[in-house]
Chain A
Amino acid sequence: DIQMTQSPSSLSASVGDRVTITCQASQDIRNYLNWFQQKPGKAPKLVIYDASHLQTGVPSRFSGSGSGTDFTFTISSLQSEDIATYYCQQFENLPLTFGGGTKVEI
């Protein structure tokens, strides 16, 4: 199974800050990586697909980069509505596997 190591597990930032989350795969997953946002009591919402593509309707302050084993998710200017837990997910191989999540707080 492909292990996804996500860091940090939590972070605290201020409105307007740049926030960066990393995800490392245990083997090459090319660009088969998604990033999800999950707010309390809600379903995960796809934010970035194929490592760097912004899902329709998602604000442009969100971005993703990377390929192979190392990936980065960035919020360029944190807003209060971005408070959530973020997960990376690989879909190169089954089983689909997820990072442990990053809880973003203000």
Chain B
Amino acid sequence: EVQLVESGGGLVKPGGSLRLSCEASGFPFSTYSMNWIRQAPGKGLEWVSSISTRSKYIYYADSVKGRFTISRDNAKNSLYLQMNSLGVEDTAIYYCAAQGDTPIPWGQGTLVTVSS
């Protein structure tokens, strides 16, 4: 089954850190560029970060640059997002999304809540 499963979300205090994971299955993960996209409560969709197939090209939204780090492990079919210096504005559901030859359904997302 083609699937993306996010994990690692939770409640964290402002200034804290979290590491999100996304495990892929059912498709050739190493041939797909990967993205993190988030959705704040009651808001629209916001792109966060992208990584190319072999990690050569990495991009970040200005809102997270310098605080978030995207990475991937093709041997483990996994995508990661290390989030540091979290602020309340980072509260959102985080989705991973694959981009390649065949459309891949998004995962269910993982909720990150930043609150004191």
Binding site for B on A (CB under 8 A): 34, 36, 42-46, 49, 55, 87, 89, 91, 94-101
Q: Is the CB of B45 within 8 A of A49?
A: no
Q: Nearest-CB distance from A4 to chain B (Å)?
A: 10
B26 at the interface (CB under 8 A from A): no
Which of B12-20, B68-76, B77-85, B103-111 lies at the interface?
B103-111
**Which chain B residue shows the least CB distance to A32?**
B99
- Are A96 and B50 CB-contacts (below 8 A) given A44-B45, A44-B95, A87-B45? yes
Q: How far is the CA of A36 from the CA of B109 in the complex (A)?
A: 15
B35 at the interface (CB under 8 A from A): yes
B47 at the interface (CB under 8 A from A): yes
Q: Is the CB of A46 within 8 A of B47?
A: no
Binding site for A on B (CB under 8 A): 35, 37, 44-47, 50, 59, 61, 93, 95, 99, 103, 105-109
Q: Is the CB of B95 within 8 A of A43?
A: yes
**Which chain B residue shows the least CB distance to A89?**
B45
Q: Is the CB of B105 within 8 A of A94?
A: no
Q: How far is the CA of A98 from the CA of B93 in the complex (A)?
A: 16
Q: Is the CB of B105 within 8 A of A45?
A: yes
Q: Is the CB of B105 within 8 A of A96?
A: no
Q: Is the CB of B95 within 8 A of A46?
A: no
Which residues of A sit under 8 angstroms from B106, Cβ to Cβ? Answer: 43-46
Q: Nearest-CB distance from A3 to chain B (Å)?
A: 13
Q: How far is the CA of A45 from the CA of B106 in the complex (A)?
A: 7
**Which chain B residue shows the least CB distance to A48?**
B103
| Residue contacts A-B, CB under 8 angstroms, 10 given | A43-B95, A43-B107, A45-B106, A46-B103, A49-B103, A55-B103, A87-B45, A89-B45, A96-B50, A101-B44
Q: Which of B47, B50, B99, B108 contacts A43 (CB 8 A)?
A: B108
Q: Is the CB of A96 within 8 A of B35?
A: yes
Q: Which of A34, A46, A49, A100 contacts B44 (CB 8 A)?
A: A100
